[in-house]
Structure 1
Amino acid sequence: MTLLTLMFSTGTDEIVEKKAFFGSMIFETVKKDNGALGITTGVENPVPLIVLFLVITAVLAMIKATYRGLKQRREQLLNEAGS
């Protein structure tokens, strides 16, 4: 999504090099010898992307553990109330 935003935020004849997400993604346009415009997109520094993946994984694991704990506690309370 970020690369698409960078791509559509440039003009038609601009020669630019734009970076996003802490320098991890790059969008670059270069004028070629025949007058055409060359476009390069990709990942320049994967560290921020890896950190984001790890943080999201940790947060989702904590949410799942909390949900399971609350569900078990609810079942325990319902069993105690029923007996």
Structure 2
Amino acid sequence: MFSTGSDEIVERKAFFGSMVFETEKKDNGALGMTTGVDNPVPLIVLFLVLTIVLTVIQTIYRGLKQRREQLLDESGR
């Protein structure tokens, strides 16, 4: 991702083009790198999907925990 084969500017995109990594050779011989967000849509979609999945998991967990308590109460513990 960060490797360059020559002294020219190299631009790499990651995560469906949403993140950009750019390397360039500086005047003093050092290698400079800049990063940025080119297209925020994939990042927003990922955030929404993860939020939905974690909410569903939490809801299922609470339902199962409540059902367990109900069964324990019915059995007389």
**Which TM bucket (shorter chain)?**
0.7 to 0.9
CA RMSD of aligned residues (A): 2.1
Residue 81 of structure 1 is matched in structure 2 by 75
Structure-1 residue corresponding to 2:50? 56
Give the letter for the 2:50 counterpart: I
Residue 49 of structure 2 aligns to a residue whose secondary structure is helix
Task: Report the alpha carbon displacement of residue 28 of structure 1 after superposing the two structures with TM.
Answer: 1.1
* Counterpart contact for 2:18–2:41, Cα < 8 Å: yes
Say whether the 8 Å CA contact 2:18–2:38 is kept in structure 1.
Answer: yes
Give structure 2 stretches of 5+ with no counterpart.
Answer: none
Q: Take 2:4 and 2:38, find their aligned partners in 1: how far apart are those partners?
A: 22
Q: TM-score, normalised by structure 2?
A: 0.81
Identity %: 67
2:51 & 2:15 partners in 1: Cα distance? 18
After superposition, give the CA deviation of every residue in 1:35-59 in whole Å (9 maximum; x if it has no partner): 6554221111111001000100100
> Gaps (5+ residues) in structure 1?
1-5
Task: Identify the structure with the greater helix proportion.
Answer: 1
